[in-house]
Amino acid sequence: MNQLEKYLVLVIAVWRVTHLISSEDGPFDLIFKLRKFCGDSFFGKLMDCFYCLSIWIGLIAALIAASDWKMVIILTLYYSGAALMLEKLTNKNFN
Provide the residue-wise pLDDT of the chain in tens; the chain has 95 residues. Answer: 888 899 999 999 999 999 999 999 989 999 999 999 999 999 999 999 999 999 999 999 999 999 999 999 999 999 999 999 999 999 888 76
pLDDT at 33: 94
CA distance 53 to 90: 17
Helix orientation angle between 3-23 and 50-65, rounded to the nearest 10 degrees: 150
pLDDT at 3: 86
pLDDT at 95: 66
Q: Please choose, from the candidates 48, 71, 75, the residue with its C-alpha nearest in 3D space to the C-alpha of residue 61.
A: 75
What pTM value is reported for the model? Answer: 0.90
